[in-house]
Structure 1
Amino acid sequence: MIKPFFKVLFLAISCLLISFSSAKDPLEEIIAGFQRYISEQPQEKVYLHTDRQTYAAGETIWLKAYLTAGPFHIPSSLSSTIYVELIGSEGELIEQHKLFTPDGFASGQLELSDSIRSGNYLLRAYTNWMRNSGEDYFFHRPIKIWNSQVISKPSTTREIELATGKVDIQFFPEGGNLVQGILSKVAFKAIGENGLGKAVKGKILEGDAVIAEFESNSLGMGVFPLLPEKGKTYQAHLEGYKMDLDLPAAQESGLVMSVSNSGKSEDIVVKIQSSENSQISKISLLAQTRGLVCASSRADLANRVVFVRIPKKEFPTGIAQITALDENGIPLAERLVFIDHQDQLSLSAVPDKSNYGPKESVLIDITAKDKAGQPVIANFSLSVFDKSQVPFDEDHETIQSNLLLSSELQGQIEKPGYYFNLENPDREVALDYLLLTQGWRKFSLKKAQSGELPKPAYRIEKGLTISGQLTDPKTDKPIASGTASYLSLFPVSESRTTTSDSQGKFEFEDLIYFDSAEVMLQGKLKNGKSTATVSADHTRRTPTLRYSILPFFSTPTVLEREFLIKSVERKNISRAFDFDEDLIALEGVEVTGTKIIDQYTGPRIYGGGSTKITVADNPALENLQHPLDLVKGRVAGVQVWGSGDTWSILIQGVSSINSSVEPLIMVDDIPIPIQGLSSIPVLEIESVSVWKGPDAAIFGSRGANGVLGFYTKRGKVQSSTPNQSDHPPVPSGYQLEKEFYSPKYEAQKPPQPRPDRRVTLFWAPDIQTDSSGKASIKFYNHDVETVIHGLIEGISKQGNPGTSRFSYKIGK
């Protein structure tokens, strides 16, 4: 259990320090509640580092997941499963993967379909344990995906610049409320139609009189002073807009809390002032960071004003919540401030040269140190990309801004990296504006004072769960007290048995498996002699999405358009040079012989369909992971999204991705549920046929939404039907991490003819510094003369995050 600090110094104008009066003092109860919270229900956080921020259809999103637990951001040993999701602009789930993280680190990839539509998408990550706190605690990262089809659109003024120029503005008095007769600081935040901050300026009016002026920063935030008087109302007039907005009404009595947090001072100075008619005579003050209570005490407000000086050294780096409470523990005012001890990792990544030739090798030396300059053992991920080919936001989110800022606040934070970039001279002021206008989301004082923590509805997962039901193969009725058996041989051999309940239900928890095809389930009746039918539950349990995805404007910028044009060039290069370089190309070979007739004799009673894809003897298709990958981006009018057990298919004629209309799925002319496809190895599929439009009429009403037919080489479907008793398909396992392909251009070898236009030159998700705090990475450039940008980020065993950037040139 973490022991809080209780040291606070007072500079008093008639200030009296009062000790705690009893064991049931509300302040003591709140402090005890926070202690229970961080010890019994430690909060997990997930952060994803991706190789870049913008992608084209058909590309791969490479990612590294960092999972931390508790107030000090120690790499988590609690959960072993991280859920990573790609969500579309309408809130639809495009892909979901499960990453195995035994030590707080995991890496994986999201492979984008060639047919994915242009739009704003959302990367979401969480653990099952994090669901107890709600979606506000999940990791969210907006990303933009472009499909090359938009290149054909005329390049006009961006749709984002709308003529109406509407703006939404909100006002936030410091501490929470305006009180008549007390000078207060009022913060404001303006949001444009695109959902981002919008620069505004205007005047504060009392009737026709101008009493103050205000102007925001580039992110749409700012402050102005206001002394509200009894019987008067105030309005804000925005220049350039035909709108006057009412300011929040001032209370007749109460108190106002203002905070000074100068970066040059070693203390936070808190001023609390009450109105003349206020009945509040005594207050409590409590300051906490991520559940750690760092300072607390009580003071007398008999003379209506008190100053409190709190040493910053009592706080860890991050957001501190300072709250004034009455004698019953009811919050009266609250303020968020950021404490920055500059104690994050000192991280450097230095190339061995500043200028390189095309396809030349690059060596990056990495060094990690703590604030005192001592070497640190830490885990990092590195992305190296061509900055000229892809849009890049210099103030994007990093692990540092996420753990210390974004994960502590409600809602979306625009340009979170801006507040940690030392090159921005106004970053501290801008950060204070943000904390005045952004909502607090952490464990509340009300919950802490209640004395009881809510019972977690979601457990800590140490592995995956398989649940299902046993039924009698003759009567199809549930089997009570039957035996369900689980067997997996990879990555370790494991077998388990369990007994079904009165409804035939069974469940296995904390399983470790990757390839679901390697998992076997079997069932027995109560007597243990007869075989039961086993069906695994494939129900998708995805948390409700409450995060707002920004509107998408389909006209690309000049840079985005150039990125798309080059993405088409890269695909054309891949197609032109997509051959095995170890093979020998023969010239003028003439082959004569007799055509071999298709020997497949399995069921095919519905004809060839509208489109047929031959899979057999095509290595590019046979090596795909899932049968539906065979259709992705290869059949006009057919759209496929998903991964694992979660797939959505639309065949021409269906107008909405939210219509929940699925085509008929068949294997060797036998209808099966879509989940049954996951158990069919692609290597055993001979061909795929698609029926759409009038061609699907042969299926009657079953074919109203189109039909997908998969034909195996042996014409058998025993393993594809989940209702059969032998080895039914189980939910997808953990994602198998793929290795990022990085070509090697050795000097002694002849130059390769294939052009190299990679956007992401190198991706290394698992870099570990040694005891001297050092590591090194080697890779090869592409053949474009440009500027290369590198970003490395990660975290130490002690929970200190760090980021660093570097750049170099490629030229002759």
Structure 2
Amino acid sequence: MTILQINTSNSVVRAVSKRLLMVLLYFIFAHKLYAQHDVQLHTDRTYYFPGDTVWYKANLIYKGSPDTAVRNLAMAIGRPDKDVLEQQLRPVVGGSTFGQYIIPDDYKDHELYFNLYTKRKEHEPFVSKIGVFQKKEVVSDSRPAVEVLIEGDGILPGLFNNASFQWNVRTGINAILANESGTEVAAFTTDTLGRASVQFRAEKTPLFLRWSHQGTDYEQVLTNSPYGARMRLGQAGDTTLIVIENQSRFRNATLLFIPEPGTTWYKNLHFGIDNMITFPLEELLGGSYSGDFVLEEQDSVLATMRLDRFNPIQPQLSFEQVSFDRFGGNSFDILIPDYNEWNLSVSVHDGLLPSVADNPARYKFAICGRYRYSYPKPGPADSINDAVLSLQGRITMPPKEWEKFWGLRHKRQQRLEKEDKTVKGVSFGYRLLTEADFRYEEVPYDTLGNLLLRDIVFYDTLQTRVVQIDERLKTISHEIEWSFSNFEPVDRMVVPDFEAGTDLSHVYIGKFDPHYYILPSGERAIKEVGIPRKKVDARIQKMQAQFSRGWFDRESVMDIDLLHEGIPGYVFTLEELTEYLKNKYPIIRGLGPLILANNIHDRDKTWTGGDMPLDVTEIVFARVYENYIQHPSGGGAIMYYTSGVNARNKDIGVAKISLSNVAGYSGFHDFHHKKYNRDSLPAYDDRQTLYWNPDVQIKGNVKFPVRFHNNTLSDSYIITVQGVSRTGRTIRFSKRVTKADIDTSLLERKK
């Protein structure tokens, strides 16, 4: 760690700075708050079919601003039963990242879950879910759950309390608040979105929230104030007030306010008989719009509150062209009416799918005037250790072997020093699967076995190959442990009750079908069966072109680069290699393959010299065919290709090569925007997502153009705009566009 030193010659400045530093450190280490850590996840739509691609963008917000300290986001995607289907790792730049996930063609569940992890809360993921149509219907296992936000983070007995409730079901909920004896304190009914707010006075606690849903009764205890005091906001005309109520034993307290950035202001308070102090909020803000309030006395925290400026904003859309014709062109502009810089994502999808904004959202804040406030818990400091990831490697062997190895290496080094030479490191080779050839470099290592690699940042999969190249040390058995992600692997999905019970049930009434196209005549045409998506290995492609000839220059079931297969040391002969491959890849055994070499068909030929390989070190490549033309019973074949007797790393040996595939950052795909020429149109287009752009960087009051073509099914579409400004303002906007908007677009063009 590099420590920068600042010299100050002024003793007065030094004394004042020391006093201020003590105040700041006392607050930071004693009463640091968990600031609100928000995740805004925008998927191109909320409902999908099996085989669809989910396009998404995640915005990370911390203390009301884009979270630029987070550099990595880990995502787990899985089923309602908590089975994990895929794990992704995304780089975060400027507080946001985006990517995609392909839903399996054979996915059978009606919902799909996402868990998002960052170093802010590595063990408390953000959770979201989408609907997946099965036979054009999503059926949710709706189980009611409720989130409660109580002003002050808990009930204070004998005073009026304000509480907000959010259920995850949209049906009307009739609920009551009652004490232990059953006396009713308040009664209320939710709105059509499952929300309700109520003011009540409780003389005794605890209080219980009781409600019924579809004949089942539920009960939940409400929390008391953890400190015996609370802070909230109130309004008197145009003035926003901070209201502090104190039922603790302390009559004197100090109110600290830490705005952004972190200068601390404080106010000494004395509570009278009524236990309440009220004064204008602006007295403490000092021109700031956000920060943390802490009420404390004698090293005890009495109350906390997080404050943010609440200033909702909506984008303005101006339509240039609206068309619901088949392949019709559409265009509109987006303008944000302020002067911030904005990081947005924009999607347009078929109007027969529900809007993203239709889903219930949890209460996270209370709102008063121009401000919103919440109640974070005391917690650790703001700083996190998160950096752009790179490849890490370590040589491993049993401790006694490592001690022996290092002793031999030390003696070897002493001898070489007399010749002005040094012990070599390891030969490190690496390539992306899209590259045909390895790149090599010599890499040193430390006394713990850590490879001293330069920073290697990569996407998808990196194939690595390590060989000990020092002649006297290469024979010692070892393994290489590789790593890239610094997140723990996720074994099970996190599925909270609120998300699990959220009802996404919906019946799709549109014309899209995952298996058929709807032709203009109304007839159905079977969709082409897509080729399974698999990564193309450029090295395999190169070896196919180099070795395969004649009948064997065709699609195979499997291609094996034996030079980098990592063949065990006990495999020496062709027969042993074949048996090893049959055990490792059961599909080969099932083919009952003939064993061939070097593009020669005649299996009865007497092999001599280097034709039929006798030793595994002669073989570099193998191709497996499902139906071999000369197999007497219609089975398959294994074609081995050689590079000459003992041409394969004879001075290293098979067992001394360590080959691994290491997963890096998840790869990005491009969303393909259809562009049509009226002179050459296809028969159909049933895209459900018409437009997706996750990287819209614009300034306020500057128009951003959106252009796309309609499909052949839709007579409406839904525009969704989400994002965050540099100052932390957020947008979550959705608009349905129908044929009625065509006249509007014509009017705007005339203007």
TM-score range normalised by the length of the shorter chain:
0.5 to 0.7
2:668 is paired with a residue of what secondary structure? coil
Q: 1: distance between equivalents of 2:30 and 2:517? A: 54
- The residue that corresponds to 1:58 in the other structure is 51
Offset at residue 505 of structure 1 (A): 5.3
- The residue that corresponds to 1:109 in the other structure is 100
Offset at residue 356 of structure 1 (A): 4.2
Does the 8 A contact of 1:46 with 1:126 survive in 2?
no
Q: 1: distance between equivalents of 2:173 and 2:448? A: 61
Offset at residue 537 of structure 1 (A): 3.7
Given the alignment, which residue of 654, 662, 670 partners 1:739?
670
CA gap 1:725/1:338 in 2 versus in 1, 3 angstroms: same
What amino acid sits opposite 2:720 in the alignment? L
2:82 is paired with a residue of what secondary structure? coil
Root-mean-square deviation (Å): 5.6
Q: 2: distance between equivalents of 1:175 and 1:73? A: 23
- The residue that corresponds to 2:720 in the other structure is 791
Q: 2: distance between equivalents of 1:512 and 1:794? A: 28
Please give the per-residue CA displacement for 1:245-271, whole angstroms capped at 9, x wherever unaligned. Answer: 6977989x9854352344964423313
CA gap 1:187/1:104 in 2 versus in 1, 3 angstroms: closer
Q: 2: distance between equivalents of 1:24 and 1:793? A: 41
Offset at residue 95 of structure 1 (A): 0.9
Residues 1:483 and 2:425 aligned together: yes
Given the alignment, which residue of 65, 69, 76 partners 1:73?
65
Offset at residue 761 of structure 1 (A): 1.0
Does the 8 A contact of 1:294 with 1:315 survive in 2?
no
- The residue that corresponds to 1:514 in the other structure is 459
Given the alignment, which residue of 750, 757, 760 partners 2:680?
750
1:144 is paired with a residue of what secondary structure? strand
2:267 is paired with a residue of what secondary structure? strand
- The residue that corresponds to 1:142 in the other structure is 129
- The residue that corresponds to 1:406 in the other structure is none
Offset at residue 114 of structure 1 (A): 0.9
Q: 1: distance between equivalents of 2:344 and 2:224? A: 50
Given the alignment, which residue of 513, 535, 547 partners 1:566?
513
- The residue that corresponds to 2:527 in the other structure is 575
Alignment of 1:702-721 (within 5 A): 714=640
CA gap 1:96/1:31 in 2 versus in 1, 3 angstroms: same
Alignment of 1:773-788 (within 5 A): 773-788=702-717
Offset at residue 147 of structure 1 (A): 4.1
Q: 1: distance between equivalents of 2:38 and 2:455? A: 20
- The residue that corresponds to 1:669 in the other structure is 582
- Higher Cα radius of gyration: 2
- The residue that corresponds to 2:250 in the other structure is 280
Q: 1: distance between equivalents of 2:638 and 2:529? A: 30
- The residue that corresponds to 2:13 in the other structure is none
CA gap 1:51/1:523 in 2 versus in 1, 3 angstroms: farther
Offset at residue 199 of structure 1 (A): 2.3
Please give the per-residue CA displacement for 1:130-150, whole angstroms capped at 9, x wherever unaligned. Answer: 3xx4333x44322233444x8
Q: 1: distance between equivalents of 2:637 and 2:267? A: 74
1:114 is paired with a residue of what secondary structure? coil
Q: 2: distance between equivalents of 1:237 and 1:552? A: 20
- The residue that corresponds to 1:610 in the other structure is none
Residues 1:728 and 2:701 aligned together: no
What amino acid sits opposite 1:669 in the alignment? K
Does the 8 A contact of 2:311 with 2:729 survive in 1?
no
CA gap 1:498/1:807 in 2 versus in 1, 3 angstroms: same
Residues 1:440 and 2:376 aligned together: yes
Give the percent of matched residue pairs that are identical in Structure 1 and Structure 2.
Answer: 13
What amino acid sits opposite 1:394 in the alignment? A
Q: 2: distance between equivalents of 1:335 and 1:710? A: 71
Please give the per-residue CA displacement for 1:684-708, whole angstroms capped at 9, x wherever unaligned. Answer: 965689xxxxxxxxxxxxxxxxxxx
Q: 2: distance between equivalents of 1:330 and 1:72? A: 27
- The residue that corresponds to 2:243 in the other structure is 270
Offset at residue 542 of structure 1 (A): 1.8
What amino acid sits opposite 2:507 in the alignment? L
Does the 8 A contact of 1:119 with 1:552 survive in 2?
no
Offset at residue 494 of structure 1 (A): 8.3
2:514 is paired with a residue of what secondary structure? helix
Does the 8 A contact of 1:142 with 1:549 survive in 2?
no
Q: 2: distance between equivalents of 1:431 and 1:243? A: 39
CA gap 1:234/1:384 in 2 versus in 1, 3 angstroms: closer
- The residue that corresponds to 2:325 in the other structure is 357
Q: 2: distance between equivalents of 1:550 and 1:244? A: 14
Residues 1:308 and 2:255 aligned together: no
Offset at residue 483 of structure 1 (A): 2.9
Q: 2: distance between equivalents of 1:35 and 1:291? A: 17
Alignment of 1:170-209 (within 5 A): 174=152, 176-179=154-157, 182-185=158-161, 187=163, 189=165, 199-202=173-176, 204=178
Deviates more, 1:763-772 or 1:167-176: 167-176
What amino acid sits opposite 2:327 in the alignment? K
CA gap 1:243/1:494 in 2 versus in 1, 3 angstroms: same
1:669 is paired with a residue of what secondary structure? helix
2:516 is paired with a residue of what secondary structure? helix
Query: Which blocks of at least 5 consecutive residues in structure 2 are unaligned?
Result: 1-15, 410-423, 519-523, 532-548, 561-577, 588-620, 628-634, 743-751
- The residue that corresponds to 2:389 in the other structure is 463
Residues 1:765 and 2:699 aligned together: no
CA gap 1:102/1:219 in 2 versus in 1, 3 angstroms: closer
Does the 8 A contact of 2:148 with 2:164 survive in 1?
yes
What amino acid sits opposite 2:301 in the alignment? P
Q: 1: distance between equivalents of 2:230 and 2:387? A: 43
2:716 is paired with a residue of what secondary structure? strand
1:728 is paired with a residue of what secondary structure? strand
Q: 2: distance between equivalents of 1:212 and 1:771? A: 45
CA gap 1:282/1:616 in 2 versus in 1, 3 angstroms: farther
> What is the TM-score when the length of structure 2 is the normalising length?
0.64
- The residue that corresponds to 2:613 in the other structure is none
CA gap 1:386/1:288 in 2 versus in 1, 3 angstroms: farther
What amino acid sits opposite 2:90 in the alignment? L
Please give the per-residue CA displacement for 1:436-475, whole angstroms capped at 9, x wherever unaligned. Answer: 8xx735x53xx57xxxx89x6xx42322333343569xx9
1:394 is paired with a residue of what secondary structure? helix
Does the 8 A contact of 1:122 with 1:549 survive in 2?
no
